[in-house]
Amino acid sequence: METRGAAPSYPALVGSGLVVNAGQEVAKRVRCPRCAVISDTNIAPLLADRVKQSLTSSGFRSTLITISAGEKSKTLEQAGAICDQMIDAGFDRQSFVIGLGGGVVGDLSGFVAAIFHRGIPHVQIPTTLLAMVDSSIGGKTGVNTAAGKNLIGAIHHPVLVIDDVDVLKTLPQREFNQGFAEIIKHAIISDAEMFAALKDVDLENLAPLIRRNVEIKSRIIAKDESDRTGERAILNFGHTVGHAIERAGDYQEFLHGEAIGLGIVAACDVSIKRAGLLRDQRNGIVDLLRRFELPTHLPPNFPREKIFEAMPFDKKFESGEVRFVVTPRIGSAHLSSDVTMEDIREAVD
């Protein structure tokens, strides 16, 4: 089944058993004969052979490039090293890139595809729930620098996204759960029906849920392709405080989705005060986060001051003015400029 993505429209295939047919699907959309499959040290041993075999049987020549697993690999140096490897291996304009992995591989491989010979096609095969419902959609690619995350990058949409739910079976539980933070976020900002259905979600049959989340993110992005008008900003619900918590924990204490879970709770408390969110709805959100084992309270000894120190660097604090995403009720969200630092302090406390 195909889900039409944002303009420029590209298909996101969601289903079971798709990896072994990746070559066939790619062949329908990509004419280039050579492919760099970029993956990481955890995923390559699990999946790379199957993807490469499938590419070979569809007539592609592929080269596997494996990076160390983890956020530390998302650097300009790593992107440069991959480009050099591709040049040494004889890749040219008639090549394309497949990112086989989580958000780290997706962002890095997409960035390589954006800059190699000024842009070659990118195919995403996301292998984490977070990457399927979030990072593989929208075309944002990039790397981190010493000064912060995702500061260098490009918008480069994939030509195809292949979400094979079978690959999620090997995903560690914590990684799986963190994907639900973004799913719950999508529900809060734009889909009350999905929110209600989430408490009975069938974990054995995730394709419909993933498809729905791809649609939600694509729809929001289609309204604000280049991230300029502010519509896309509602996707940052829970992220202002969430990012600051991530940074305050030196990116060690919490996974992204876990920090976002906490950020969502803070954003709900701000929303009660500034947007009229009902306390019952806020409590329903907290219950749902708990159901997926996401934290909803900061540990007592967590350095709270560091959260606020981390805040002014956040992209959303444009020119010192806080623009905060609030939800007046589940299924809806908007930007508010009424929110003060004091509101955020109260929510964090």
Chain residues in the site for ligand NAD (CB under 6 A): 40, 42-43, 69-71, 74, 101-105, 107, 127-128, 130-131, 134-135, 138, 140, 149-150, 167, 170-171, 175, 256
User: Toward ligand NAD, which CB reaches closer, 62 or 135?
Assistant: 135
- How far CA 72 is from CA of 67, 105, 122, in Å, comes to 10, 11, 22
Which single residue brings its beta carbon nearest to ligand NAD?
A: 103
User: Toward ligand NAD, which CB reaches closer, 63 or 150?
Assistant: 150
Q: What tokens does 41 get?
A: 């040290």
User: Toward ligand NAD, which CB reaches closer, 140 or 282?
Assistant: 140
Q: CA–CA separation, 310 vs 13, rounded Å?
A: 38
User: Toward ligand NAD, which CB reaches closer, 34 or 74?
Assistant: 74
Residue 92: which of 117, 121, 70 has the closest Cα? Answer: 117
User: Toward ligand NAD, which CB reaches closer, 48 or 285?
Assistant: 48
Helices 103-115 and 76-88: crossing angle, nearest 10°? Answer: 60
CB of 270 to ligand NAD, least distance (A): 22
Q: What tokens does 262 get?
A: 């906490």
**Interstrand relation of 122-126 and 11-15 (parallel, antiparallel or unpaired):** unpaired
CB of 192 to ligand NAD, least distance (A): 23
Q: What tokens does 305 get?
A: 């001051």
CB of 88 to ligand NAD, least distance (A): 25
CB of 38 to ligand NAD, least distance (A): 12
At residue 65, the 3 state secondary structure works out as: strand
Q: How many angstroms from the chain centroid is the CA of residue 282?
A: 24
CB of 195 to ligand NAD, least distance (A): 20
